[in-house]
Chain A
Amino acid sequence: RKEVEQDPGPFNVPEGATVAFNCTYSNSASQSFFWYRQDCRKEPKLLMSVYSSGNEDGRFTAQLNRASQYISLLIRDSKLSDSATYLCVVIHLRDNQGGKLIFGQGTELSVKP
């Protein structure tokens, strides 16, 4: 079983739609959680951190459920420019890995006019 699992998609949605991505992680000792966005053939860029209380940044809302080891990202009123691959990222601090990021394989989103 992969440490971080995401639905690879693709998710094809019309402009203005609300779309939700889910991510599960297997290590209960995981401590920090992020969503990164990666455009085609570009580097990943930090979209937002995910906090236990849930957090919102404009049209984006991230949720964490530690009991179920589950992270979500909700995008409201999706724009064409939201088309990208969304990477779920988890960190669990180990003695010898210095805060290694563990990536899901990404969920591809395509927003159509």
Chain B
Amino acid sequence: DGGITQSPKYLFRKEGQNVTLSCEQNLNHDAMYWYRQDPGQGLRLIYYSQIVNDFQKGDIAEGYSVSREKKESFPLTVTSAQKNPTAFYLCASRPETGGTYEQYFGPGTRLTVT
């Protein structure tokens, strides 16, 4: 089945530790995105990548890092520099061509840092 997978579904970490969230897609989409959702708020863009080996900061990139070594994969690292890392993290993708702009989301990872 084609889709976007994120793992793990729930993640618990101690403050001061870096943690990497996985995002994989087999939709052959060029563009991939990471969003963060906090309770009662809309999604906010952390990073995005339109092509392999290239990525750009979104609105709230501080304390996060990404890589895009393969088209299928766009992992997000939440570093110890991120002041409020506890949130619901969503990965999305869309085809770059075809004039369609809607994005498709993975099931998300809930990160809790204590």
Is the Cβ of B42 less than 8 Å from the Cβ of A4?
Answer: yes
CB distance from B107 to the nearest CB of A (A): 5
Is the Cβ of B31 less than 8 Å from the Cβ of A99?
Answer: yes
Is the Cβ of A105 less than 8 Å from the Cβ of B42?
Answer: yes
Interface set of A (CB-CB < 8 Å, partner B): 4, 8, 31-32, 34, 41-46, 49, 87, 91, 96-106
Interface set of B (CB-CB < 8 Å, partner A): 31, 33, 40-45, 48, 50, 56, 58, 88, 90, 92, 94, 101-108, 110
Is the Cβ of B105 less than 8 Å from the Cβ of A45?
Answer: yes
CB distance from B11 to the nearest CB of A (A): 14
Q: Given A98-B48, A99-B94, A104-B42 in contact, is the A43-B101 Cβ separation under 8 Å?
A: no
Q: Given A42-B108, A98-B48, A100-B45 in contact, is the A91-B101 Cβ separation under 8 Å?
A: yes
Docked pose: A97 CA to B58 CA in angstroms: 7
Tell me which of B50, B58, B90, B110 contacts A44 (CB under 8 A).
Answer: B90
Q: What are 6 residue pairs bridging A and B, where the CB atoms are less than 8 Å apart in the complex?
A: A43-B108, A44-B105, A97-B45, A100-B48, A101-B103, A103-B42
Is the Cβ of A42 less than 8 Å from the Cβ of B107?
Answer: yes
